Structure 1
Amino acid sequence: MSIAIVTDSTSDLPKDIADSHGITVVPLNVRFGMEEFKDGVDITNDEFYGRLQREAELPTTSQPSPGDFAATYSDLLANHDGIVSVHLSGKVSQTINSALQAAREVDNSGTKITTIDSGHVTIPLGLIAIDAAQSAASGASMDEVVGVVEDSMSRARFYGMVETLEYLVKGGRIGRAKSLVGGLLKVKPIITFEEGESSPVASPRTRRKGLEKLKELIEEAAPFDHLAMHYSTEPEEIQKLADDLEHLAPENGIMVAQIGVVVGTYAGPGSLGVGFIRKKSG
């Protein structure tokens, strides 16, 4: 049985990695005024962050249309027996609803497409998709791939440090991290994703202390099946963090990637983060 894996662009997977695993990425949209771009297709990350820092009005984002998903699913079913489509949390985006609507339209039998709300976003979502793709490549059935996804979801985690909460607040994605807003200009907040939304972890006063806290959180979470780090505008800083934590790298190494334009709309410049899937206990 041949199972195709689909995710969305908030997985922040570099194109070469997605391609190497045969993962199809459906892009979300970002809009500056009247200009709309598909994430990772019509605008590069560097072009986006340049505009984000220059323009007075923040961009907005939107989910792929059901038609975008339907076209993707139809193309894939021409050469595959089934599809597992795993996406960002439904608490922060309607992407999963577009995927569900398209699946009902394309798969009349209801047996060929399984859509999954991962409860995650950004790098952990990408790592979950990689696990799904590796399972599918090994010849796993649809149910077996879904089982792998659910297991990876339970072991996935994200920690991110933002330069300011301004972008999360203005974008309406602050979630439980709203408790940090009182110190908006005084801290370098560290957040995680719990039950599908942003949640506060720590409020270090300086960037240096924030990086130290991130290291501590990562060391406490080891060992890993996957470990990835990403940045919006400071590649040297995240590479140094990866180098400092090389001793915790799993067999497949540490993936370093740039935060894409949709996640970057809410994270903002100067953000960095770490996503991982822990090793199974025992």
Structure 2
Amino acid sequence: MIIVTNPGSNLPAAVVERYGILVAPQQIVVDGVAHDTRHGVDMAMVEGWVRSAKEHPHVVGTTAAEFVSVLRGATRQDREVLVIMTSRKIIGSFDAAQVAARTLLRMTGNEGVRVVVCDTGVTDAGAGMACILAGEARAAGLSLDEVVQLLDAYRTQVRFGFLTETLEYLVKGGRATALRALLANVLGVRPLVAFNEGELRVVAKVSTKVEPGEALAQWVEGSLGPGRRIWAAIFHGGVPERAVKTAVALRKRLDVSFLWIMPLSPSIYLHTGPGAVGVAVVPLSVLPWWPDAAPLIG
């Protein structure tokens, strides 16, 4: 079984190599010029684009044609391919992957090939953690159907939320209204933005006087209940100290079996801006399978 994903899953090179994951192309377009997010795009570059571009840069997901090429390469390695995607409701890459899978299966020589496309319902490290889970499950001998069942459970149970330092990038990228940004600034609150059925929604307002990590940990505990055994991913917009404080706050409230801290992917940083911090958490007890030991991905 070969795992394929898009760059929005925010997988570092070491994880890609460990699990033999194929990463499809994805572009950030800046005033008509496309930049592949797999190659050397960092936060400083994104900030420079936002400051200097005539129009706010935008993300173009993987096209069906690009996916066909990636899938053809995958089927040369294995006849079973699992495509793990970021939420279909925020980018068109999931639909493109499905079109590509159908196209590939109609091609001569692909008899017996299986391609399954899974929607994680989240993005960034939340989708990346799903890839790690799938990689561990494959290594443990689970079948393609069993891994798909595992990812279906993951999608329904994962909690993904973040706090931004500023709403400027969300407003420019069309993810929040200017009025909401104005109210947040006037009232001294940050919106806690979370995925709900694959869509981003404001689920709470947090005072700017409250430590973001404490607010996120409290939100997770309120959603799951205290002391649950979890896997957690923490992602941040250039503020590793906030990520560490979030990790400490999570460990106080929950039994953290696996913890992964990552800077935001360029495509998501484009919308959150500097200072953002967030969490993706899944309770293990609701999954049909999980590893006996935490993955070693460092």
TM-score range, shorter chain: 0.7 to 0.9
How far the C-alpha of 1:84 sits from its partner, in A, is 1.0
Tell me, which stretches of 5 or more residues in structure 1 are unaligned?
none
How do 1:44-193 residues align onto structure 2 when only pairs under 5 Å count?
44-53=42-51, 55=53, 57-108=55-106, 112-174=114-176, 180-181=180-181, 183-186=183-186, 187-193=189-195
- Secondary structure (helix, strand or coil) at the match of 2:95 reads helix
CA distance in 1, matches of 2:153, 2:49: 39
CA distance in 2, matches of 1:210, 1:178: 22
Q: Deviations over 1:156-182 (max 9, x none)?
A: 1101001233322332334xx999556
CA distance in 2, matches of 1:170, 1:270: 16
Q: 1:263 aligns with which of 261, 268, 277?
A: 268
Asked if the contact 2:212/2:246 (under 8 Å) is kept, the reply is: no
Change (3 A) 1:91 1:162: same
Asked if the contact 1:179/1:200 (under 8 Å) is kept, the reply is: no
- Secondary structure (helix, strand or coil) at the match of 2:206 reads coil
CA distance in 2, matches of 1:27, 1:164: 29
Asked if the contact 1:12/1:260 (under 8 Å) is kept, the reply is: yes
Asked if the contact 2:121/2:198 (under 8 Å) is kept, the reply is: yes
AA aligned opposite 1:257: M
CA distance in 2, matches of 1:75, 1:9: 17
How far the C-alpha of 1:210 sits from its partner, in A, is 3.9
AA aligned opposite 1:235: P
How far the C-alpha of 1:111 sits from its partner, in A, is 5.0
- Secondary structure (helix, strand or coil) at the match of 1:79 reads coil
Change (3 A) 1:262 1:206: same
- Secondary structure (helix, strand or coil) at the match of 2:190 reads coil
Count of residue correspondences: 277
Q: 2:5 aligns with which of 4, 7, 10?
A: 7
Which range is displaced more, 199-208 or 60-69?
Answer: 199-208
Asked if the contact 1:127/1:277 (under 8 Å) is kept, the reply is: no
AA aligned opposite 1:185: N
CA distance in 1, matches of 2:77, 2:113: 16
TM-score by length of 1: 0.88
Asked if the contact 1:4/1:133 (under 8 Å) is kept, the reply is: no
CA distance in 1, matches of 2:160, 2:16: 20
Q: 2:240 aligns with which of 235, 252, 266?
A: 235
CA distance in 2, matches of 1:29, 1:117: 20
- Secondary structure (helix, strand or coil) at the match of 1:149 reads helix
